[in-house]
Amino acid sequence: MLVKKRKSMKKLAEIKNLVKHFPVKKGLFKKTVGLVKAVDNISFEIFKGETLGLVGESGCGKSTLGRLIIRLINPTSGDIIFDNINLNSYSNKELRKQRQFFQMIFQDPNSSLDPRATVGKSIEEGLIIHGIKDNMERQKRIKEMLNLVGISANAAERFPHEFSGGQRQRIGIARALILKPKLVVCDEPVSSLDVSVQAQVLNLLNELKNELSLTLLFISHNLSVVENVSDRIAIMYLGQIIELLDSSKFAVNCKHPYSKVLLSAIPVPNPNIQKKRIIVKGDVPSPINPPNGCRFHTRCPVVISKCTMNEPLFTELSQNHKASCHLLTN
């Protein structure tokens, strides 16, 4: 965990009013009949050297937000400022040069690695694209990176199907780190792995973060995992971040009703301790037609009339703690 005070830390990325709407098209002529509001007016910062955890239910927009930040997809509106550069002002050619500084570790190592290419070729591709022309230098860096993630250097000549799921994810991590990025977006990097392997990969990520001075955006639906690996936690619901605070204070100081619902769902390892679950009613509303007012009000156990009419502002409750809830700002 970070021990530095937030004020002394430098911003690596700043997200301002970020929006991504996907058109819904139907009919023979593919007429647009609606918009999926996957990411809807999100603003936050990522500081150098931290791990920011992003948590929410499936379909809330977490992965879309991660892809937007590293410009794998283009935003509908808003700004993505990375290392004091507004990425939205860059052409595709200029953006391509910047991509070495932000990389992604994908959820499924089976589908993110080319089955027809050797492990070495998959890792080498980024080096070739970014102008490392010396073959001996490329091979040296590939072997060093494989060793760093706990894979034998001889594995470079083998194919992905020859490895276990945990080993393939280590290879995916090596591919993401080979260009020495500043920011790595980890999109559910352990959700497809066995529990025993998950711990190994999480420990590896933490070691690499410290050794290589990385900044991580760690996306997951598993709050207990995020609590253990992150310095700060952002809770996302239906396209919006609704609470953001230090992970060390999350269990005792989270304020938003939805955050409390997620916290109550974490199982207690001691069978003698009875934990009260907060049960929410109904299903998550459609992002095509999100509710008016607070987006959680249709399921919130403590909803008031104001929640159904006015959208709450994302305001600072205390130092390093923001949330959007009418009950917290009255």
Name the band, by pLDDT with cuts 50, 70 and 90, for residue 276.
Answer: confident
- Dist CA 151 CA 111 (whole Å): 19
pLDDT tens, residue by residue, 233-264: 999 999 999 999 999 999 999 999 999 999 99
CATH assignment at residue 143 = 3.40.50.300
**Helices 195-212, 165-177: crossing angle, 10 deg rounding:** 20
What is the mean pLDDT of the segment spanning 32-56? Answer: 96
Domain assignment of residue 28, given as a range: 9-329
- Residues 6+ positions from 259 with CB-CB distance below 8 Å: 235, 242, 243, 250, 323
Name the band, by pLDDT with cuts 50, 70 and 90, for residue 8.
Answer: low
Closest CA to 82 of 179, 184, 177, 172: 184
Q: Is residue 16 part of a domain?
A: yes
The pLDDT value recorded for residue 103 is 95
SS3 for 193? coil
Q: Is residue 208 part of a domain?
A: yes
Q: Is the pLDDT of residue 42 over 70?
A: yes
pLDDT tens, residue by residue, 295-307: 999 999 999 999 9
Q: Is residue 2 part of a domain?
A: no
pLDDT tens, residue by residue, 156-187: 999 999 999 999 999 999 999 999 999 999 99
Q: Is the pLDDT of residue 207 over 80?
A: yes
> Considering the chain, what is the average pLDDT of its residues?
92
Q: Is residue 4 part of a domain?
A: no
Number of domains in the chain: 1
pLDDT tens, residue by residue, 10-36: 999 999 999 999 999 998 888 999 999
Per DSSP, 293 falls in state: S
Q: Is residue 95 part of a domain?
A: yes
| Start-to-end Cα distance in the chain | 33
Please give the model's pTM, rounded to 2 decimal places. Answer: 0.93
Q: Is the pLDDT of residue 4 over 70?
A: no
Q: Is residue 81 part of a domain?
A: yes
Q: Is residue 301 part of a domain?
A: yes
The pLDDT value recorded for residue 105 is 95
Q: Is residue 1 part of a domain?
A: no
The pLDDT value recorded for residue 3 is 43
